[in-house]
Amino acid sequence: MSGTVLVTGAAGFIGSHVCEALLARGETVAGIDNLDPYYSPAEKRANVAALQAWSRFSFHEFDVRNADGWASVVAGVDRIVHLAALAGVRASVDQPLEYVAVNVDGTVRVLAAAVQAGVRQLVLASTSSVYGQGTAFPFREDLPADRPLAPYPATKRAAEMLAYSYHVAHGLNVSVLRFFSVYGPRGRPDMMPRLLAESLLHGSSVTLFSGGQMWRDWTYVSDIVAGVLGALDTPRGYEIYNLGCGVPVLSADVVRHLERMAGRKANVRTTPAPASEVVRTGADISKAAAHFGYNPQISVETGLKLFWDWFAAR
Ligand SMILES: NC(=O)c1ccc[n+]([C@@H]2O[C@H](COP(=O)([O-])OP(=O)(O)OC[C@H]3O[C@@H](n4cnc5c(N)ncnc54)[C@H](O)[C@@H]3O)[C@@H](O)[C@H]2O)c1
């Protein structure tokens, strides 16, 4: 019989969806999260409350930076999905030490706990921003990733490499997943779809970089979750996978789609992009497709509609 899956960052956007999918397929799930105030802890508490409807879900308010208390966190755990992180690119420029503490030191704590528990697979969340401005397009996992534009991707790249060192030293199976701009219900309030939706519903001003002439490979959360579960079920030593949709979308088109759904104009202010912002992201997803059948289903038009319907009904 399978053991428990530990999900770090369980109260967050992607974490709450991953927990839900694991529970729906019959797993026992232990979630940890410190309910960090980067955005509303009330939103995170609501995510946890919804998960607590499942008797196979348990939640522990716990900080991944903690030196102690891991033995009880990993008791009975045989797989880990490590999503807990500080995840804002621009915020990381102002708070590099906090990003290092959570994303690097915290990841080492998780890796050590994984070894202690003898887990058979650890999935580690990384980001498309490790590619920086990119030397080739679309981004493939074997491109250099040593020119991050902000502390956030630098800490994620460090976490990827530390995970490799744990694989070598301890035989830990790790699949690193580089997520590309994830959106959907419960999406992060600091990200573009949510800021635009706020503007459309409440008139707040939203900043659009470079007049919307930037591209992101927007990936709907259910596709990301399918990739996380696929990777979790497929230990292969140490591997890195892109999880994107595979279709870069112009930011100006995201604005246009949401404005059409709302039937009004967003209050958009455009500024030059800060140096920490990549101009264009796009995922080559053939490796994840070959190794665990990753096959994103949701187009940006459909995904933004699902997102907008959720947002407008809140
Ligand atoms: N959303 C995206 O587009 C995206 C893109 C690339 C990578 N990622 C990565 O995916 C993961 C999940 O991101 P998300 O968008 O769901 O963000 P999120 O902020 O909603 O979730 C992260 C969770 O981690 C928790 N956390 C932060 N510090 C912690 C600590 N010290 N101890 C325990 N928990 C802590 C937060 O409270 C939060 O609930 C992160 O690792 C992020 O870097 C996200």
**Residue 150 belongs to domain with CATH number:** 3.40.50.720
Is 179 close to ligand 1, i.e. is its CB under 6 Å away?
yes
Indicate the pTM of the whole model: 0.98
For position 2, what pLDDT does the model report? 87
Is residue 288 a part of any domain in this protein?
Answer: yes
What residue numbers bound the domain in which 76 lies?
A: 4-183+219-246+281-297
For position 1, what pLDDT does the model report? 55
Residues with a known catalytic role? 152
Is 34 close to ligand 1, i.e. is its CB under 6 Å away?
yes
Q: Tell me the C-alpha distance between 265 and 260, whole Å.
A: 8
Is residue 196 a part of any domain in this protein?
Answer: no
Q: Residue 4 in 3-state DSSP?
A: strand
Q: Tell me the C-alpha distance between 80 and 125, whole Å.
A: 11
Minimal-distance CA residue to ligand 1 atom 18: 12
Atom of ligand 1 nearest to the CA of 47: 39
Single out the residue of 73, 167, 158 nearest to residue 120, CA to CA. 167
Is residue 25 a part of any domain in this protein?
Answer: yes
| φ, ψ dihedrals at 256, nearest 5° | -60, -45
Atom of ligand 1 nearest to the CA of 101: 31
Minimal-distance CA residue to ligand 1 atom 41: 83
State how far Cα 269 lies from the chain centre. Answer: 27
Atom of ligand 1 nearest to the CA of 16: 16
- What spacing in Å lies between the alpha carbon of 263 and ligand 1's midpoint? 32
Q: Tell me the C-alpha distance between 95 and 75, whole Å.
A: 33
- What spacing in Å lies between the alpha carbon of 122 and ligand 1's midpoint? 16
- What spacing in Å lies between the alpha carbon of 159 and ligand 1's midpoint? 14
- What spacing in Å lies between the alpha carbon of 133 and ligand 1's midpoint? 23
Positive or negative, the Cα torsion across 10, 175, 130, 250?
A: negative
Q: With 0-12 CB in 10 A as exposed, 13-18 as middle and 19+ as buried, what is 50? A: middle
For 146, residues 6+ apart whose C-beta sits below 8 A from its C-beta are 157
Minimal-distance CA residue to ligand 1 atom 7: 127
How many helices and strands in the chain, by DSSP H and E? 12, 13
Is residue 202 a part of any domain in this protein?
Answer: no
For position 135, what pLDDT does the model report? 81
- What spacing in Å lies between the alpha carbon of 287 and ligand 1's midpoint? 24
Is residue 145 a part of any domain in this protein?
Answer: yes
Measured torsion, CA atoms of residues 207, 208, 211, 217, in degrees rounded to the nearest 10: 170
Is residue 59 a part of any domain in this protein?
Answer: yes
Tens digit of each residue's pLDDT, the chain (314 residues): 589 999 999 999 999 999 999 999 999 999 999 999 999 999 999 999 999 999 999 999 999 999 999 999 999 999 999 999 999 999 999 999 999 999 999 999 999 999 999 999 999 999 999 999 988 999 999 999 999 999 999 999 999 999 999 999 999 999 999 999 999 999 999 999 999 999 999 999 999 999 999 999 999 999 999 999 999 999 999 999 999 999 999 999 999 999 999 999 999 999 999 999 999 999 999 999 999 999 999 999 999 999 999 999 99
- Per-residue exposure over 104-118, b if at least 16 CB sit within 10 Å of its own CB, e if not: bebbbbbbebbbebe
Single out the residue of 181, 138, 141 nearest to residue 157, CA to CA. 141
Is residue 270 a part of any domain in this protein?
Answer: no
Is 239 close to ligand 1, i.e. is its CB under 6 Å away?
no
Peptide bond preceding 138: is omega within 30 degrees of 0, i.e. cis? yes
Is 282 close to ligand 1, i.e. is its CB under 6 Å away?
no
Is residue 114 a part of any domain in this protein?
Answer: yes
Q: How many domains does the structure of the chain reveal?
A: 1
